[in-house]
Each structure stands twice: as C-alpha cells, then as structure tokens.
Structure 1
Amino acid sequence: MANSQNSTVTYHAVSQDAAEAVIAAGMTSAKEIGSPISIAVVDPGGWLVSFRRMDKGVAGGVDGAIEKARSSAKFQSSLADFEKLADKQSYIGNLPGLIPLGGAEPLTVDGEFVGAVAVSGATEDVEQKVAEAAAKHFNS
C-alpha cells in the first residue's frame, strides 16, 4: 500500500480574482499603447481561468491569446525566450505545444509557477510589452 504522504501532489493555481486583476492590468497597458488586444490567463495545467477581448480586437487574437497562454504554461516559461532560441535553432518551432512567439509570460508566487498570461491581436512587440505589464502586476 502506498504511503498517503507520497501518493498525492498539491499545487497552487492563480485564482479567478487574481486572473481578473492581471487582465485589467494588461488591458490598461494596451489602452495606453492604443492597441486593442485579446488577453488570457490559464492555470498551471493550461486551463483557461479568465479571458477578455477588447472592443475592436481582431478575432484571430482570441485563439492566439489562449493558445499562447497554454504554451507558456506547458513550458513554465516566457515564450519570448523560445522565440530567441528559434532564431538560432529552427527545430524549436516544431516542439509539440510550443508557440515560439513573444506575448506570453509565466505567473509565479514565491518562485512557484501558478499560471500564465498571454496577449494576441497586435504586433509582437506590443503583445510582449502588454504581457510583461500584466505579469509584473501579478508577480510584484
């Protein structure tokens, strides 16, 4: 029989309220830049916790934000890191579930990964800036 202390794993996840605050911070940043975006927050398993599409945000940004957030969660990393690697190592873009584009950042609490935020529907530079602003709001 398995020892009950060794048979379960617990983890923390971003809460609904925190996800909403992350999205609000991202939307504020996007408004300041003047770019309507879609923004998604997922838990550590990549499951959607919250999502918003700004008025006039492009339809393609919806799936883009959600899938980039899932990709960031799967690899528990900033997708911008993989974007830089993909420039030098083309096979990076072929890894299952990895989207090597900027605009997705991990969310952490005391160094523990609890989810990810991602932005889509603008230029990659804008998406990265908004994602960083949203993650900074959470991680601060």
Structure 2
Amino acid sequence: MPTPPASTLRTYALRLRPGDDLRRELQRFVEQHQLRAAAVLTCVGSLTEVSLRLANQSGASAYHGHFEIVSLVGTLALSGSHLHLAVADSTGRMLGGHLLEGNRVYTTAELVIGELPKLEFRRETDPVSTYQELTIYPATPAPSRKGKK
C-alpha cells in the first residue's frame, strides 16, 4: 500500500444551539470556510429529533424524544460529506446510522472540526462498490479571489 498523503491540522470549535439542524449547520460551516478536506474530531450534545439512514436501508428513519449524542464521526468536504451519528435514549439504548437532515439540537451540540489544508477530498464512483467513495488528493491551490468583494 502506498503511503497516504499527509497534512497539517487546523482546528475549529463551534457550538450549535437549540433547534439547529446538525447536518445543515455542518454543511453551512463547510461552505462558509470552503473546507475541501476535514473531519469531525469530537461532538457531544443532545437532540430532540433524530433522522438516520440505517444500515442497508434506502430511506430515512425518524425518532422523537431526548437523545444524547454519543458519537459523530466522518469526513467533511465541499465535494461531499460522509457522517455517522450514534445516539443513546433515556434508557441507554443506542442507535446509529448515516446522519441526514432533520437532527434537531435539544440543548447544545459542541463540536471540534479538523481541517486538513494540504488535502482535498473528492467523491468518485468505486468500481467494486459502485458507490461514490472517498478519494484523497494533494490540495490544489484555491482559486484567486483578487478583485472580488
């Protein structure tokens, strides 16, 4: 296996507020900061609505109540993100799957995001899985913003 490309790490800390949509706010953050390669380093908080695509299912599964965010992991990029969420209910039962829109913050969501500025994540069709899978490239220089306001 060839040595994968490496990068320095730039970190961002943010807090989402009650009612925020976790997936939408992460996407907004990616667009605002023009992140081409990043990852969720940690996330804790709570949700009142959970929307996941469960393993080997095509549609969304929705849950309502009070849930603790146990884990949020995945990659973030302008070209596409891949995120998994695990939550626990008031009895400690856990549920997890692909993060979709519709995950509403209850009290808080505290996140640390790591940007890999020397890399670029892209989604390309894998010939074996046939899905859009992560490919990693050295970052190309960002387009110049000279003269733009």
TM-score (normalised: structure 1): 0.26
Return the structure number with greater relative CO, CA threshold 8 A, min gap 6. 2
| The structure with more strand, counted as a fraction of residues | 2
| The structure with more helix, counted as a fraction of residues | 1
